[in-house]
Every structure is written in structure tokens, then in C-alpha cells.
Structure 1
Amino acid sequence: MDLLVRTTWVFTTKRFKNLLFIPRMGSFTSAPQIKNVDYQDDKLEITDGMSVPDLVDYCRIARGDERPQLVKRKFLKPIDRLNGSDLTDGFKMLQLDSISKTCSEPSATATQLRIFQWNMLSQTLGMHNDGFVRCPLEALTWECRRYQVIEEIVQNDPDIICLQEVDHFKFLQKILSTQNYEGVFFPKPDSPCLYINGNNGPDGCAVFYKKDRLEMVNHFTRVLEVWRVQSNQVAIAAVLRTLDTQQEFCVTTTHLKARKGALLSKLRNEQGKDLLYFIDGVAENRPVILCGDFNAEPIEPIYSTVLNYKPLGLASAYSDLLAEESQDENNQNALNTGVERSGERCSRSSIGSAHSATDDCGLSNGVRTKAEQSAAYEPPYTTWKIREEGEVCHTIDYVFYSKDKLTVKNCLMFPSGEEIGVDRTPSFQYPSDHFSLVCDIELKPASDGSQSDVCSTIPNHQL
């Protein structure tokens, strides 16, 4: 009895009392797991050595010519300002004229990298668990989605791919290897997919990189902790080296806890702290690129936590570039449209045309904090969906980067509400409820040239 009283006292003290109210961080069900493996694409055969245009054509034919094409998107800077050449004809360098105004020229220099971040939507969860009431059932089938997923990735010709909700890693590995990509995958320990009949194994995070431009020095995985208790969210940190310049940097991808509420916001912030400590130990003063679905709008604590973690010196790639464009344009109309963070006003034509108001929101005693300044220039949405409980349109996906060691050169814009369609996403025109984030980032010359060859240990930081 005395032991029971003492144990109860320990877990009701200020430090541990929050643990009493943590909802289960995995499946939210007591049903037994259905432990399938990744097998559904084992019979897929694909020709090796296809060019990007050939692979895109292959995907379109395999999916069906009668299907609508992917939603078209443009880069923020379609003009190469260094030489004045027009890059708006899609894959001009790849001779893919049918993809009009989709991408700018990738990887213009040896130190410039194209980063692709995407929550691609778990097939099992999207089909059985997410309640996309306006999406045709056929559009959610893997037979329909899988070739759109590949098309969305390869048409942007990224050097690094960071993905969340991956439950068909073998499929991605098989297809992307034809384009000289290599990848690593880390599943959630208690993936909700494993409680659904017909699953293809657990979902998790994945990182791919182009072997003809990069090599992997090492990679680490982590199950993120909350108050020293493992959660169900994971992260991958990969140390990569450019083949041309031998510069090393750290790329990390993660997917933080979903759901609304003050407690869940607190959990995400604690996961974020653990994530930052983890990255700090892996990066060892290398430049950092952090990509992921944070399930948090810029007003949440985790956003500020990431930006204010001094050892990494991170900034938001999209926010910085959009702020720079607004300043360059010197267009006050673009600064004063007052787009609301709540997602209730997501109908404007493009994210480049307006930003949050600078004079009546995001102020702390009349002075903007670093996070408030950054939040004002984030895109109005990275996900737009309609579920049983209603329409959701907000920004929860990010690409963060080491501002003193990297430079953001370009980013892919988001489609307008009209272009997306009244049924939103996912749809026949787009295979996920999240839009991909694509950034061109340039490595600055190393200041001292000192970098560790490998990462051997991760320090055990105190929360």
C-alpha cells in the first residue's frame, strides 16, 4: 500500500502529471494488430533506365489516358534572373513539353539542391480511415493513386525526397531506383495501418536521394519522446555529401502527432524538442534541412520552438522566399490582404498574391517576434480537404533550413481553390490531401571547412 501511495505521488507531481492525461499515441484502439508486410506491389515490373519524360508517360498510360491530369503548379521564380532565360516551359531541359509551366530548371549549380517534401497519404488510412467524403472511392484506390504519386515526384526532378505516411515503400523503391534514387524507411512502432484489414504494413517516413549527385555518409532513426516516454511518431536524419564539392549536410524528415486540442499541441511541442536535440546530435554543425508534416499551424508553440532553437539556426524556406519576393515587389497591396490563418479564407488565386496583414495581426506588445514575422509569410495552406466534420484548409507542412549555411533560391507555388476544385483533395487530379513542398536550396561555402566524416554517437540531451 505504501508503494502504491508513493508511486501515485510521483506521477501526480508537476513534472509527470501530464502523463496521466496522454491519449494513446498509436492506434487509438484496443483491437489486435493485423501484421501484414509490404507485398501489394511485388508483381510490378518496370523497365530500368527510363528517362524522366518516359517515366511520366509510363505513369499516365498505366493510370489511363482518360483520367484528368495532375493539378498544374508553377514555381515562384519562373525566370532565371542570372541570365534572363525563360524557364516557364515546364521541363524544357528534359524536353517534356506536355507538362506546361510545371517546373523551373532544377539543380542549376553543383551546390544547388532541389528538396521535395510530401505527406503522400497512407493508402490504408486514406481508403479506410480518413473520411474524405467528397473524394470518389475510385480515386482513393491504390491502382489509381500510385502512378500519380510517382508522377508528382519525378516531374519535379528532386535531388532529395522526404515523405510521410509511406506504406508502399517497396513500390517507391522499385520505381525511383530507375531514376537513380536510393532510400531509407522507418515505420511507426504502432502504426494505425496495422489495425485495418487489407493493410500493406505500417506507415512511416522515408528519405530518398539521387546517387549521381549525392552519397549517404550515415543515417539515424528515432522514435520521438514526450517527457521521456516514446510516442508513435518517428524521424529519419540522413547525413549526405555532394559528389562534386564534397560538402556535407543533414536532411531530416518527420511526422508529428495529429489531432486538435491544447494537450495535443503540447505533445507536438515536446516531440519537436526531442526532434531538435536529435538533429543537433546528428548534424554536428553541418547545415540542416528539416522537412515534415508537423500537424501544427504557425501559431502553435512547435513552430516557434523550431525557429528559436539556437544551435541549429533554422528558418522557414517558404516564408523567407515569399517575404523576400514581397519586399522586392514593394507591393503594399500584397502585404495588406489579411489572409486568415484559420483556413476560412482559402479562395484567393495564388499564394504569391497576398500574405497576412503586417499591421494588425501577430503582434506582441507592438513588436513582432521571430516566429510571428515568419508566420506572416507562410503559405495560407499546404493541405485542403473535406472530411465528415467539415472542410479543413491550413498550413501544417514545412521545410526548415539553416539560414546561415544555406540559401533558398526558389519554391513551388500552390494551386488556387478554383484549380483544386470544389471537392478539394484527394481527387482524380491529386493523390494526397497534402500538397508537396518543393524548394531549390543552395549550399554556402563552408566557413572553416571542418566537418566530421561520420556520425558515430548521438548525445543524450535532457528535456
Structure 2
Amino acid sequence: MEVVARGIYQHIILGFARAVVYSYNRLTGISRTTMPGPALTGTTSASLLQQCLTAQDGLPPLLTREFHSVGVVGNGDANADSIKDSNDCIRVMTWNTLADALCLGSDNFIKCPKKALKWETRKYRCLEEILTYNPDVVCLQEVDHFPDFYQPMLEQIGYKGTFKPKRYSPCLDVLHNSGPDGCAIFYKQNKFEVLETISQGLTATAGGRTWKSNQVILCHRFRCLTSNLKGREVVIGTTHLKAKPGYDDVRHSQGVDLLKIIKPKVNDAPVIIGGDFNAEPTEKVYKAFSECDLNFKSAYKLLDGEATKEPAYTTWKIRPAGDVCHTIDYMWYTYSKLAPVSLLSIPTEDAIGPNRLPSYGYPSDHLSLVCDFKFVT
């Protein structure tokens, strides 16, 4: 009941605050979308990446990471080193990009220089992170610059993007915000066509009460177009579950609802779900995914070598109370139909640095997860 009462109270207070902020923004006509900056244009990932690097002249290099072969395919019956042709694989990225409207305020990154948190500093670094790894499908969370940045930047080089905003985004509480944050998916149009889309809010349950929550699921059923995979279908989706301690039951119910939503849409196709679950592996929502009848496994457990544990962290920041170091981002896949071939490494503590994330060297408090998948059936 405490969670429910707190939720109702917050909903009333935030509703009033949003009305005030919205009115102020309308009166002043100011928003983050009006910030000036050099326009980048390109026809390929490589050319746009080079322009990103030029636009960021003076900043330290992006946090360096490498791909590692995971050593097994499917259920462990083959070696990943035997897979040579990248045209047989699908590269998927999932990443909480850190909403612009939140990073300078409520997120309280006390060790990060203010300039490093400004959108003018971060935006091309965010784009650089995506372009550096050149994923076929990009699953993003906490996106509040979809129409004015991510969409025009990525669609000019052949991606197609879709966006599902949160109903009551906390970004709307910030003066001069650029709109609600939400989840976005970008995919290479020369590699996929969309057969079906799921874009809806998730239902939550706690304290005997059920409601349509602020969190969403965005998911596409794709048909592959490249010659080696032509006709193959795969379902790829993303989500960002409820944050903050004390909401374990809410996250669990949201995850259960997500699984319920996508299951009828699978039609025997493999599934990949990447996102910020805001839940450690000890939480019930993690167990719900690992034990569901969609045959899910977590790709990043394979970095362990023994496939027995998740990385030590996927987010690491310093707030007023101290270090916040957690594993809460995951990429789930149908292990009976897909095999992770290689995974982008998690940087070491020394590489991240004593002031943690975000920083001049990395634009978000969450690390991106990138995996190459191969069909095994």
C-alpha cells in the first residue's frame, strides 16, 4: 500500500508541476531543441563518424572498448571462431543514452564537470558511440532528442527510426525541456523490413492495484533482406523499467506484462530484448525473463567465460551518497534459435576513471551493450 499511496501522491504533485513548467515553456518559447550547433551531413556511417570526431575537437577519445568472441554457439555445440562471415550475423546495440533534460538536474552526477553534461558536448559523443560500432539495430532508452537529433542524424545514413515516449516523462518537469523521453529503435533499411510493430505502455501491479504505468515496450518484427539471411524473421524490442529502490514488485509486474505482450507476436521467430531493467540479477523480474517459456538467456553472461554471472556493472556513477555501481542493463535472446558470436567488452574500473560516468570520455552513465548474433536453426 505504501508504494501505491506514494505513486498517487507523486502523480498529483507532478501533474501540477508539469502544468506550471509547460505553461512557462510556452510563454518563453525556449527549449533545448533550439540550441545552435554545427549540422553534420553524411551518406555513410564512416563519413558521419569522421564529422563527429571533427566536431568534438579538443575532447579526449571516447572510452575504448573491444569485441570479444564468446566461444560458443547456441547450446555450446560449436566454436564461435568458426563463424567468419559477418553477413550471417545481426549486430544489436542497447543503450540508455541519458536524457538531456535529466542529466544536469535530478541525476546529481557530482563528479562530472557541468560542461561535460551539456547537450552541446554530449550529442555528437552519443552519435559517435553508435557509429563506432555500426549496429544493424539500435535500441535506445532515455531518448529526449529523437525528432531534432537522433532521427535526422541516423536516417540520413540509411537507418529508419521509431519512438515511443513515456506518458508522464520526468523530462517534462524540467524547464526548457525538449519533450518527453522514451524508447527508440533504429534499423538499417537495406537489411530489414518491418512486418509488425508493438508500441504501448506497460501495466504495473503493486499493493493489490493495477494501472497503466509510465514505462513502455517498443518492438519490431523484422524480415531480413540481405542475401545470406533473406526471409529470416526476428523480433527485436526495447524497454526501460521503473527506476529507484523499493519498486521491485512494480518492475516484476512490468516485465511479466512485457512477456505477455510479445509472446503472441513471436510466431516461432527468435527474440532479442535489450534495455535498462533497473534491476539487479537478484530481482524477480530477472528471474521472470530467465525462466520464461520464450527460452531467454542473457547474452552478457557469456563474457564471464563460464556463462555463470553477469558483468560486475553496466552503470557506474557518483551521486551525493557515494558510488552507484550496478548491473541493470541486459540483452535477452532466444538461445534455442540465436547464438551470440561476439560481445563488446565492459571497460575496467581504471579505464572508466575515478570520477566514473558520465565524463568527457563517455556521454552516459550507462554503458552500451553490443552483441553479434547468428541464427542457429
Could you tell me the TM-score, scaled by structure 1's length? 0.72
- 1:22, distance to aligned residue in structure 2 (A): 5.1
Q: Given the alignment of the two structures, is residue 81 of structure 1 paired with residue 81 of structure 2, yes or no?
A: yes
Match of 1:400 among 318, 325, 332: 332
- 2:55 aligned counterpart, secondary structure: helix
Contact 2:240/2:277 (8 A) holds in 1? yes
Tell me, yes or no, if the aligned pair for 1:194 and 1:202 is still in contact at 8 Å.
yes
The DSSP-based 3-state class of the residue aligned with 1:32 is: helix
| 1:286 Cα offset (Å) | 1.5
Letter in 2 for 1:236: L
State which of 285, 303, 309 in structure 1 corresponds to 2:286. Answer: 303
1:275 aligns with 2:258: yes
Displacement, 1:43?
7.7
Residue 162 of structure 2 corresponds to 184
Secondary structure at 1:439's aligned position in 2? strand
Does the 8 A contact of 1:226 with 1:271 survive in 2? Answer: yes
What letter is aligned with 1:274? D
In 1, Cα distance between the equivalents of 2:145 and 2:344?
25
The 1:19/1:142 distance shift into structure 2, 3 A limit, reads: closer
Structure number with greater Rg is: 1
* 8 Å CA contact 2:70, 2:303 repeated in 1: no
Residue 400 of structure 1 aligns with an amino acid whose one-letter code is W
1:46 to 40, 44, 48: 40
Q: Say which SS state the counterpart of residue 272 (structure 1) adopts.
A: helix
Map Cα deviations across residues 299-349 of structure 1 (whole Å, 9 max, x no partner).
111100111111x11110111x235x34xxxxxxxxxxxxxxxxxxxxxxx
| Structure 1 residue aligned with 2:357 | 425
Q: String of CA shifts for 1:245-294, please: whole Å, max 9, x gaps.
A: 21111111000000012xx0011001111011011122233211010000
Structure 2 Cα separation of the partners of residues 286 and 26 of structure 1: 39
Shift of 1:217: 1.2
For the 8 Å contact 1:166–1:205, the answer to whether it is kept is yes
Distance 1:83 1:76, change over 3 A: closer
**Contact kept in structure 2, 1:223 and 1:235, CA below 8 Å:** yes
CA distance in 2, matches of 1:197, 1:424: 27
- Is the 2:70–2:341 Cα contact (8 Å) retained in structure 1? no
Give the match's secondary structure for 2:354: coil
1:164 aligned residue: 141
Give secondary structure in 2 for the equivalent of 1:318: helix
Distance in 1, Cα, partners of 2:112 & 2:2: 38
Q: How many residues align?
A: 351
Q: How many Å separate the matches in 2 of 1:239 and 1:182?
A: 14
Are 1:254 and 2:254 counterparts?
no
Give the drift of 1:111. Answer: 3.4
What's 2:74 paired with? Answer: none
Cα displacement (A) at 1:20: 4.1
Choose between structure 1 and 2: higher helix proportion.
2
Cα deviation, residue 129, structure 1? 1.6
Structure 1's 28 and 149: CA in aligned 2 closer, same or farther, altered over 3 A? Answer: farther
CA distance in 1, matches of 2:338, 2:353: 36
Contact 1:181 1:210 in 2 (8 A): yes
Q: Which runs of 5+ in 1 are unaligned?
A: 1-16, 85-107, 327-373, 446-463
The residue type equivalent to 2:248 in the other structure is S
Relative distance call for 1:221 and 1:22 in structure 2 (3 A) is farther
Q: Deviations over 1:146-201 (max 9, x none)?
A: 00000000110100000000000021111111221001000000001111101000
CA distance in 1, matches of 2:239, 2:363: 20
Q: Is the 8 A contact 1:237 1:282 kept in 2?
A: no
Assess, with a 3 A threshold, how the Cα gap between structure 1 residues 53 and 42 changes in structure 2: closer, same or farther.
same
After superposition, residues 28-427 of structure 1 pair within 5 angstroms as: 29=14, 30-33=16-19, 34-35=21-22, 39-40=33-34, 45-49=39-43, 51-63=44-56, 65-77=57-69, 81-82=81-82, 108-170=85-147, 171-227=149-205, 228-244=210-226, 245-261=230-246, 264-310=247-293, 312-319=294-301, 321-323=302-304, 325-326=305-306, 376-427=308-359
Q: Is the 8 A contact 2:37 2:120 kept in 1?
A: no
Question: Does the residue aligned with 1:303 lie in a helix, a strand or coil?
Answer: helix
Which residue of 2 is the match for residue 340 of structure 1?
none
Quote the Cα distance in structure 1 between the aligned partners of 2:133 and 2:362: 15
SS state at 2:33 partner: coil
**In 2 relative to 1, CA 381–27 (structure 1 residues): closer, same or farther, beyond 3 Å?**
farther
Identity across matched positions, percent = 40
